[in-house]
Amino acid sequence: MQGKFITFEGGEGTGKSTQIKLLAEYIKQKGKNTIITKEPGGTEVGQEIRRLLVCGDKDKFDALAEALLYFADRHVHLVQKIWPEIAKGTWVLSDRFADSTMAYQYYGYNKRLSKKIIKDLYKIAVGNFEPDLTIVLDLDPKIGLARSFNKAKTMDVKELRFEKRELEFHNNMRKGFLMIAKQEPKRCAVLDANKTIEELHSDIVKVVQERLGL
C-alpha cells in the first residue's frame, strides 16, 4: 500500500515546524510509518541549495533564479526521498513544497515572474504528482515575522533572507497562499494559525481524519 504525502504551507512564523512534528507523532500512534522532511534542504544536495536560498543578502537572486533553484532542489527531493518513501508505504510530511514557490516567487514578487514559467517548471521537475493534502497555516505577516525574528534571536538563526523582505512582499505571499487554496479546495485546507499550539494541532488532526480517513 502506498503512503501519503502531506505538505505544510504558509508564511514565516506560522508554526509549521512545530505542527509537523506533532502530526508526525499522531500518525505514528495510528500505526503508520512517518518521516518529516522540508524544502529546500530535504536531501544532502538540497542542504547546499538551501544555504544559497535562505542565507545572505535578500537581493542576491531575482524571482526566476530562485524558482530554478527551488525546482532543482524539489526534483532531487522527490527522486531521492519522497517517491521512494511513499512507495514503501510511508506517510511523508514536508515543511513546504511547490505551493511555496508559487506564493513566494509569483505572488510575493508581485507577479514579476510569469505564472506559466512556474507551472512549466513544475511539469518538468515534478510531472503530474501532487500532495494528497496541503495544510495552509494562515497568519497576519506582522505576527509571523515578529515570531520569526524572536526565534532567530533566541536560537541564533541565520536563515533570514526572506524575513528581511518588505512587509508588502509577505502580504502578497499570504494572499497567494489563500488564492492557491481557493483554487484547489479538494487538496488544500486553510487553518487559522493565530491559536495555541494545542488548538491548532487539534484542527490539523481533524482535517487529516476527514480528508485522509486516518
User: What CA–CA distance (Å, rounded) separates 31 from 90?
Assistant: 11
Query: What Å distances lie between residue 143 and 66, 70, 123, 194, CA to CA?
Result: 25, 26, 35, 9
Please give the average per-residue pLDDT across 171-200, as a whole number. Answer: 97
**In CATH, what number is assigned to the domain containing residue 85?**
3.40.50.300
Reading across the β-sheet that carries 34-38, which strands appear in turn?
34-38, 91-95, 5-10, 133-138, 188-192
Q: What's the mean pLDDT when you consider all of the chain?
A: 92
Residue of higher predicted confidence among 71 and 157: 71
Pairing of strands 5-10, 91-95: parallel
Q: Is the pLDDT assigned to residue 202 strictly greater than 80?
A: yes
- Helix boundaries (H) for the chain: 16-29, 44-54, 63-77, 83-87, 98-101, 115-125, 141-155, 167-183, 197-212
Please give the average per-residue pLDDT across 77-95, as a whole number. Answer: 98
Q: Is the pLDDT assigned to residue 152 strictly greater than 70?
A: no
Residues 6+ apart with CB under 8 A from 86: 2, 3, 4, 5, 92
Q: 73: closest CA among 104, 28, 37?
A: 37
Please give the average per-residue pLDDT across 119-129, as a whole number. Answer: 98
Q: Are 112 and 63 in contact (CB under 8 A)?
A: yes
For 21-34, write each residue's pLDDT tens digit.
999 999 999 999 99
Number of domains in the chain: 1
Residues 6+ apart with CB under 8 A from 59: none
Task: Show the domain range for 91.
Answer: 5-212
Query: What Å distances lie between residue 202 and 15, 165, 191, 193, 205, CA to CA?
Result: 14, 32, 11, 12, 5
Q: Helices 167-183 and 141-155: crossing angle, nearest 10°? A: 120
Residue of higher predicted confidence among 146 and 71: 71
Residue recorded with cell 524544502? 39
